A and B are shown apart, each in its own frame.
Chain A
């Protein structure tokens, strides 16, 4: 049920603090769902793990590749340096001779510093590209050294070997290009593997998350079913020890709830059943007394009249209570018949408390049939007439009309009861159909009579028949309420 008053939002200007909070609130990440969190956790775990493994693998590969390069480069450089030294130790030593000799051996990238003078094998690898501190250490301090540097954007290992006996230094350039390209492809492979692993982690996370969340979904559905009135809904028993706790406590809760609801329903039903026997005695005895009313003193007559009226009312109330507890127990079985709605309404009015209530039926509505339990629907009409009699300022009018316009196929019929009371305020229009709403709805409180269950029963009965009931203002704008029953209907074949 919606309360129109409660859903109206009050629009007030926000102060600056509020606005800031709203603004900040918009920036804060929304709380992630369990499913997303599990997925992210798996993906993150896979990313971290693959990142760590990739880093380790890369650094290991790198150091081993570089080491190997280093070692073979240095060994070669020493051999070449020995060749240069031999040349420079010969008679008439000249750097050119050493260079020729080395070039004839196939050494292409080297430089020789002989007595302060540089000789280089190619224009690319000159003394300029040798870092000064390497030069200092090798030429100045006579210490063999090596250094990796970049020449023309390429990694090059420069090995410097002092040739002490001949006042010369030998520098050899070893290109590290192929090594770094090896490393690059290794790095690429590792990154790719890391990406795949992360993806696989996320995928696994999705699967695990949906498996983990499924019991929650089942529980949510079961809870919804219970809320919808199917109290015997239970969760499937499971072998998983974690889930078993959830399933067991859910099922225990459902059983306790069911027992409680059934006990309450049984209590109402038992009470009314127990009330019926004394009521029988009361009703029969009162009738015997009423047959002798004329023989009674005046005061006794007044007392008897009160007794008769309230025994009748008591009887109605107990019948209503029994009927509503039957609804609660789901024990109502409709006794369905095809009824000509106009005939039905006229008959129902004839047996109601105000048989003179006028009934207006449109021409089309005369040919409409409804499928219903005639005695239960007659109670509905009688209850609405009672309601109009008690709260609607006396008389009422009934109209039977079709909601659909001319030419449209007919799916429903409206049976409306209009009274001349003060009407039902907007915010109470749902409340009047609640049980014992009379007390809550002060405006329609009657001094005595008043069936607290009448309209609640109307609603239950109409719902059982697949229809609706509501209250609105009178159509002609005069003060008063208009209760409308909408029932599924069919037109008799023309």
Chain B
């Protein structure tokens, strides 16, 4: 289902890996731009306007985390991090820097294209069927992809927005991490729950007036998360 015109930017300092990944992704019908360093990536990003960015954390110069934060300042583009290990530190740091998903080296290119497809699918507007959802001072306009807090528009990434919309579809209902992983990221039973946890944390810093004491996105111990007014 290679959507025509989809551009992917891969940032990886190992030229052979970059080339092989480019070949594999081009087989999916996507256009692939390559960058060997963070600086090059920032430059290319503005020129090529990619739909998805793939960033290896270990980069010379600006590292992957920094690059991710830099891109996040201007853009809500989906970002996939490539980590060396699936240790808590790298994964959580990558997600907190703004990545939407991560992969651990060595991964199969099929896995990568599956992840990219899930991210691209996420961009399309969800079938909310509601014109506008209100939770206290929070307003969600699914069709326009807009979220307002006290009338002020918030800048959410696509994944954060999708997560919020999932929670908003059934207000008050508790969503388990597994069901959110499935609905938002397209993962099966063995998805990484930290994806949900870190995204909820990121979402709170934006939608909550006091992220340390969330009023809207609340944790239900041992069960999952719930959205309330």
Q: Which residues of A contact B (CB under 8 A)?
A: 273, 276-285, 287-288, 291, 315, 318-319, 322, 326, 331, 333, 335, 337-338, 343-344, 347-348, 351, 374-375, 378
B17 close to chain A: CB less than 8 A: yes
Residues of the B chain whose Cβ atoms lie less than 8 Å from the Cβ of A278: 16
Residues of the A chain whose Cβ atoms lie less than 8 Å from the Cβ of B39: none
B25 to chain A, nearest CB (A): 9
In the bound complex, CA of A127 to CA of B218 (Å): 124
Which of the residues B105, B193, B222 comes within 8 Å of A335, measured between beta carbons? B193
Residues of the A chain whose Cβ atoms lie less than 8 Å from the Cβ of B24: 284-285, 287-288
Complex contact B109–A284 (CB within 8 A): yes
Complex contact A288–B23 (CB within 8 A): yes
One of B151-159, B165-173, B184-192, B200-208 at the interface: B184-192
- Tell me which residues from 77 to 118 in chain B have a Cβ below 8 Å from any Cβ of chain A: 84-85, 87-88, 105-110
Complex contact B222–A284 (CB within 8 A): no
B194 close to chain A: CB less than 8 A: yes
In the bound complex, CA of A322 to CA of B17 (Å): 20
Complex contact B106–A288 (CB within 8 A): no
Complex contact B222–A280 (CB within 8 A): no
Complex contact A273–B84 (CB within 8 A): yes
Complex contact B188–A333 (CB within 8 A): no
In the bound complex, CA of A278 to CA of B106 (Å): 9
Number of interface residues of B (CB under 8 A): 27
Given A284-B17, A284-B23; A374-B108 close (CB under 8 Å)? no
Which of the residues A287, A315, A322, A347 comes within 8 Å of B85, measured between beta carbons? A322
B143 close to chain A: CB less than 8 A: no
0/1 interface trace, chain B 6-42, chain A, CB 8 Å (1 if under): 0000000010110111011001000000000000000
Complex contact A276–B109 (CB within 8 A): no
Complex contact B106–A283 (CB within 8 A): yes
Residues of the A chain whose Cβ atoms lie less than 8 Å from the Cβ of B20: 280-285, 288
Complex contact A335–B194 (CB within 8 A): yes
Closest to A332 in B: B87
Closest to B197 in A: A335
Closest to B27 in A: A291
Complex contact B192–A335 (CB within 8 A): yes
Complex contact B85–A374 (CB within 8 A): no
- 9 chain-A/chain-B pairs, Cβ below 8 angstroms: A276-B84, A276-B105, A281-B19, A282-B20, A283-B107, A283-B108, A284-B109, A315-B106, A348-B190
Which of the residues B14, B17, B106, B194 comes within 8 Å of A318, measured between beta carbons? B106
Which of A277, A291, A322 has the most chain B CB within a 10 Å cutoff?
A277
Given A273-B84, A351-B190; A287-B108 close (CB under 8 Å)? yes
Residues of the A chain whose Cβ atoms lie less than 8 Å from the Cβ of B14: 277, 280-281
Residues of the B chain whose Cβ atoms lie less than 8 Å from the Cβ of A378: 190
Given A288-B24, A288-B27, A347-B188; A280-B106 close (CB under 8 Å)? yes
Residues of the B chain whose Cβ atoms lie less than 8 Å from the Cβ of A335: 88, 192-194
Complex contact A338–B222 (CB within 8 A): yes
In the bound complex, CA of A316 to CA of B105 (Å): 12
Which of the residues A281, A282, A343, A347 comes within 8 Å of B190, measured between beta carbons? A347
Q: Which residues of B contact A (CB under 8 A)?
A: 14, 16-17, 19-21, 23-24, 27, 84-85, 87-88, 105-110, 177, 188-190, 192-194, 222
In the bound complex, CA of A11 to CA of B21 (Å): 67
A20 to chain B, nearest CB (A): 65
Complex contact A375–B23 (CB within 8 A): no
Which of the residues B84, B105, B189 comes within 8 Å of A374, measured between beta carbons? B189
In the bound complex, CA of A203 to CA of B109 (Å): 77
Given A291-B27, A338-B222; A280-B188 close (CB under 8 Å)? no
B180 to chain A, nearest CB (A): 13
Which of A287, A318, A333, A351 has the most chain B CB within a 10 Å cutoff?
A287
Which of the residues B177, B188, B194 comes within 8 Å of A351, measured between beta carbons? B188
Closest to B88 in A: A333
Complex contact B106–A276 (CB within 8 A): yes
Complex contact A285–B23 (CB within 8 A): yes
Residues of the B chain whose Cβ atoms lie less than 8 Å from the Cβ of A351: 188-190
In the bound complex, CA of A446 to CA of B192 (Å): 33
Complex contact B17–A374 (CB within 8 A): no
A107 to chain B, nearest CB (A): 112
Closest to A312 in B: B108
In the bound complex, CA of A331 to CA of B87 (Å): 8
Closest to B23 in A: A288
In the bound complex, CA of A326 to CA of B84 (Å): 13
A294 to chain B, nearest CB (A): 14
Complex contact A333–B190 (CB within 8 A): no
Residues of the B chain whose Cβ atoms lie less than 8 Å from the Cβ of A277: 14, 16-17, 105
In the bound complex, CA of A317 to CA of B194 (Å): 26
In the bound complex, CA of A385 to CA of B16 (Å): 35
Residues of the A chain whose Cβ atoms lie less than 8 Å from the Cβ of B16: 277-278, 281
Residues of the B chain whose Cβ atoms lie less than 8 Å from the Cβ of A315: 106, 108
Residues of the B chain whose Cβ atoms lie less than 8 Å from the Cβ of A287: 24, 27, 108-110
In the bound complex, CA of A347 to CA of B105 (Å): 24
Closest to B19 in A: A281
Which of B21, B188, B222 has the most chain A CB within a 10 Å cutoff?
B21
Given A281-B16, A284-B21; A375-B190 close (CB under 8 Å)? yes
Residues of the A chain whose Cβ atoms lie less than 8 Å from the Cβ of B23: 284-285, 288
Closest to B112 in A: A284
In the bound complex, CA of A375 to CA of B20 (Å): 28
Closest to B14 in A: A277
Q: Besides the contacts A284-B21, A347-B189, what 18 more A-B pairs have beta carbons closer than 8 Å?
A: A276-B105, A277-B16, A278-B16, A280-B17, A281-B16, A282-B20, A283-B107, A283-B109, A284-B17, A285-B20, A285-B23, A285-B24, A288-B27, A291-B27, A337-B193, A344-B189, A351-B188, A374-B189
A462 to chain B, nearest CB (A): 18
Closest to B28 in A: A291
In the bound complex, CA of A280 to CA of B84 (Å): 12
Which of A280, A284, A331 has the most chain B CB within a 10 Å cutoff?
A284
Closest to A375 in B: B190
Residues of the B chain whose Cβ atoms lie less than 8 Å from the Cβ of A344: 189
Complex contact B193–A333 (CB within 8 A): no
Residues of the A chain whose Cβ atoms lie less than 8 Å from the Cβ of B177: 337
Closest to B21 in A: A284
